[in-house]
Structure 1
Amino acid sequence: MNLVKAGGTIGGLTLVSRILGFAREMVFARVMGASAAAEVFIWAFQLPNLLRRLLGEGAFSQGFVPLFARRIGKDGDLAEAKKFAEEVQAVFLPALILITIVFVIAMPAVVVAVASERWTEDPEKFRFTVFLTQVTFPYLIFISLVSLFSGILNSMSRFFAAAFAPALLNVALLAALLLVPQGGQQTAVAMAWAVLVGGVLQLALCVIATRRAGLALRFLPPRMTPGVKELLLLILPATIGAGGYYISQLFYAYFATRLPEGSFVYLSQADRLNQLPLALIGSAIGTAILPAISRHIGLGEDQQASNVQGRAIELSMLLTIPATIALMVSAGPIMTVLFEGGRFTAEDAATSALVLSVLAAGLPAYVLIKVLAPGFYARKNMKTPVIITLVTLALGVIANFIWIDDIGIVILPLSTAVAAWLNALALYVLLVRDGYFRLEGWLGARLVKQLAAALAMGATIWGVELLLADWFAGSIGQRLLGTVALVGAGSIVYFVIAWFSGAMDKEDLLILLRRKKVEA
């Protein structure tokens, strides 16, 4: 597998989705502002997303991909793999439908359990939160099935549909904002229904792509076949353990509802920007390397599996380290350009920038987790990454309980970043202990050079920001030009230094520019 090409394909298509996502967020900020209705929509969309990550991603997809990939014959025969996917779908779909029905019926109790008194003691806000979450919750069914079909496509090295599917959700939400621009509850309701439309479109795309790949899955009655049992034995302990992670996320939702109105919006915007490099780099590389590592391990080629991870770290940090420095240094101008305007004030943008600058400090750790965890997943070790996540996030929840009243909104991104670094460090230490992976000298030297180039870039961005301070307080056009200058100057400095200092593999850059092809 060409790691750079596969990662570039996934990252490039994800970029399309993220650009649409930013367009959506920019319109959302101007139409909705940091209002109560905006907060309720974000909360209502977050709940099915949390369960989707538990049921449709995480332990499930990481367990499914290796098992599916190993059932593909050496000659590309898909019969056994198809049978396995159909058996999993037969159990997965009824479970999703049952969970959705239970949550929709019990939604008032769910809101009471998760939201603080600031929300539940306001009858109008409580009613609207329950209604909107009942509308968005069936999205769980569609997007979880998208994860199943994405796993099939990724195992077959067909990355296009799975990587592009999220763009359809952003199209649906953007359409709702443009068609119902009044703001307030009217727009929030339109966006809630758009979530369902987006889920249907994503699933349709992935199903069509799977059929074109030669796998038209039949609907079978649910049955505990040996293949399903094998998958459950892998993912159930990890899923139960991962439940602690999502409980912690519900705690974060609870903490956000304790903060002043608008906090959910600020946290969401900062997370959106932080997720851009994470999705383009970490998730793309992590998705690309899991099948490759699984195949090497299946053939007893542990050194080759380790080499894939080393190359993945090198490539991911080449882009992640400068992204981290850039977000931390230029958070203010970025938030001003993207979101300030309409109902979203300069004070709102400043608060969002503060959250982003703190949250971005953990970005390299988030990406490293995506790259290191497949070393466990490919060996059918689902428990270790989950246990580490549980422990580190529990520490974050405790920190939030202790300091949220004193520190305020900053404690949420700070605890998240610290937990991510502890998580990444623990994953690396255990991989080294078990002899699966070690940071070799060439990789360590390259990472140091990348950091040095990124620091020089950060100083350049800071200097340009001071020179153009008046522009960032001016018109939209001036702010946009100022941001282009920041990005341009910083990028030139980073890549020039990285190129001449040896901080990057020049062959990788040529591959990304589609001039050459080098197999990983």
Structure 2
Amino acid sequence: MTAIKTPNPPTVRSGLMRSGLVVSAMTMLSRVMGLARDVVVATLLGAGSGADAFFVAFKIPNFLRRLFGEGAFNQAFVPVLSEYSSQRSREDIRELLNATAGSLTAVLALITALAMLCAPWLVWLFAPGFGRDPEKLAMTAEMLRITFPYLLLISLTAFSGSVMNTWSRFAVPAFTPVLLNLSLIGSALLLMPLMEEPAMALAWGVLIAGVAQLAFQVPFLVRLGLLPTPWPNFAHEGVRRILKLMGPALFGVSVSQINLLLDTVLASLLAAGSVSWLYYSDRLVELPLGVFGVAIGTIILPALSRRHAEKSKEHFAAMLDWAIRMVLLLGLPAALALAVLAEPLLITLFHYGAMTDTDIQMAAMSLRAYSFGLVAFMLIKVLAPGFYAQQNTRTPVKVGIIAMVANMVFNLLLIWPLAHAGLALATALSAFLNAGLLGYLLYKRDVLVFQPGWQRFAFQLLGGSTLMSLALYFVAPDWHDWLSFGLWQRISWVSGLVVLGGGLYFTWLAALGLRVRHFKIHS
């Protein structure tokens, strides 16, 4: 057992908005580096078979990471750890960390070994269309054997991040994903020229990133006195509760990821490049989703969990209302901007090297469909913690199953007329259904209580978003003109449009009386 003094649980109520800004800033850095990574990949690989193979080989462990690491495990572990930090002794906290880390490692090590052994079948399961090209299937399976250990490494990294988030140390976990992007960029530039199959370099980059991310967090856990000595103990009371909560949470919190994976399965049956078009458009949507939605969801879960443990119902409801307002304040204009500027943004980021004009047109179609669902994706990130903080995982799983079935139906209805864009639109529609049901059930149970001022806030929000959208639509050059722009001309135009749209939006809000102090709330 670690012979380092465990710090007292957090008692100082930090401002949620300040914590949110810290996470958003670190996440913004990570997402910008992620876009830089995608620019490098798009330039060197384009949207061909090698790119499709890597995206599937990376998507499988990444999908499971979001299920186990940032999804079910995080939502089950944080409420239990928050309760321990508020009500149990330091020795009990150490025992919980040791048992949880050991049990998580044992389970994921077994899954990783089986997945590497069954790699070809996993590829066929997640991308059945690859079965028509034996060479592509074999290449993807080889990449998957290299990338799959990332699941074990990044899940342990997520465990470390959950511990630090519970102790209100948000910056380090939020910065850690930057290392993934740096590893992939470095592998693309340094290893790709040495590989017979260039895309294989990216698979090695994923594995390198997993090691780097876990190693980066260890010194910070040591400093907090929270570095566990992993030892499997599935009989531990806390581990049993986490496992009990994890089962339903596998569906409840990760439905949007499951829907995106279904998109990949069906896209593999469509024209070559469909997987990549969905990937590049999803990456642009992930920027505001991560910077705003995930950031707010990250800080709200431990805060809600503490309030639930303290039986502070009124503050719990006020936090949920605050989170919804923050999502709408930032998510709605971001979604509209992505829709209006789809082609210009894709051209500026990806239209280099192997990326063609047709690739841009196709990716823009799915980007607009995904942007339609951006607000819903973000709302799920803040509404689901309203249940998980109460250690209620059954309700979100029921909602998640309904949304999954709806997504399948939408996929079948929309894939034929809209091809890959229909898959993106189906995901967006099912996300609205998911968010709507979660919000309705929280409201019905008096957990979500809307605070005063919503009518005025809605008028401010809709007016500002409309003004911004119209300005961007009429000022931005036609997207065909962007194709002839040089790099710096593209960057200048995008920067100017961002400043124009953001300036008009926030000027409108300020003119109608909205101030920063209106969004300050303590955790």
Q: TM-score, normalised by structure 2?
A: 0.93
Measure the CA separation in 1 of the matches of 2:490 and 2:69.
40
Measure the CA separation in 1 of the matches of 2:186 and 2:52.
19
* Higher alpha-carbon deviation: 438-447 or 100-109: 438-447
Change (3 A) 1:219 1:114: closer
Matches within 5 A, 1:51-450: 51-73=64-86, 78-117=90-129, 119-182=130-193, 186-239=197-250, 248-450=259-461
In the alignment, is the contact (CA less than 8 A) between 1:107 and 1:133 conserved in 2? yes
Q: In the alignment, is residue 34 of structure 1 matched against residue 47 of structure 2?
A: yes
Query: What count of residue pairs does the alignment treat as equivalent?
Result: 510
In the alignment, is the contact (CA less than 8 A) between 1:331 and 1:356 conserved in 2? yes
- Deviation at 1:508? 6.1
- Deviation at 1:245? 6.9
In the alignment, is the contact (CA less than 8 A) between 2:81 and 2:93 conserved in 1? yes
**1:345-404 deviation digits (Å, cap 9, x = unpaired):** 122112111211111011111111111111111111112122212211221112213432
- Deviation at 1:193? 0.7
Measure the CA separation in 2 of the matches of 1:241 and 1:470.
44
In the alignment, is the contact (CA less than 8 A) between 1:314 and 1:447 conserved in 2? no
Question: 2:493 aligns to what?
Answer: 482
Q: In the alignment, is residue 17 of structure 1 matched against residue 34 of structure 2?
A: no
- Deviation at 1:162? 0.7
Question: 1:515 aligns to what?
Answer: none
- Deviation at 1:252? 2.2
Measure the CA separation in 2 of the matches of 1:451 and 1:167.
34
After superposition, the CA RMSD in angstroms is 2.2
Matches within 5 A, 1:478-517: 478-502=489-513, 504-507=514-517
Measure the CA separation in 2 of the matches of 1:60 and 1:391.
22
**1:164-189 deviation digits (Å, cap 9, x = unpaired):** 11100000000011114559963211
**1:208-256 deviation digits (Å, cap 9, x = unpaired):** 2111111121132434111211222222233377787766554322101
**1:53-94 deviation digits (Å, cap 9, x = unpaired):** 2222222111110111111157x9643222211111121101
Residue 438 of structure 1 aligns to a residue whose secondary structure is coil
Measure the CA separation in 1 of the matches of 2:49 and 2:64.
24
Q: Which amino acid aligns with 1:43?
A: V
Change (3 A) 1:294 1:490: same
Q: TM-score, normalised by structure 1?
A: 0.93
In the alignment, is the contact (CA less than 8 A) between 2:56 and 2:127 conserved in 1? no
Question: 2:8 aligns to what?
Answer: none
Residue 283 of structure 1 aligns to a residue whose secondary structure is helix
Residue 348 of structure 1 aligns to a residue whose secondary structure is helix
Question: 1:8 aligns to what?
Answer: 21
Measure the CA separation in 2 of the matches of 1:290 and 1:467.
43
Residue 177 of structure 2 aligns to a residue whose secondary structure is helix
Residue 185 of structure 2 aligns to a residue whose secondary structure is helix
Measure the CA separation in 1 of the matches of 2:261 and 2:285.
20
Measure the CA separation in 2 of the matches of 1:344 and 1:448.
41
* Higher alpha-carbon deviation: 308-317 or 126-135: 308-317
In the alignment, is the contact (CA less than 8 A) between 2:300 and 2:319 conserved in 1? yes
Structure 2: runs of 5 or more not aligned: 1-13
- Deviation at 1:306? 0.6
In the alignment, is the contact (CA less than 8 A) between 1:91 and 1:223 conserved in 2? yes
Question: 1:45 aligns to what?
Answer: 58
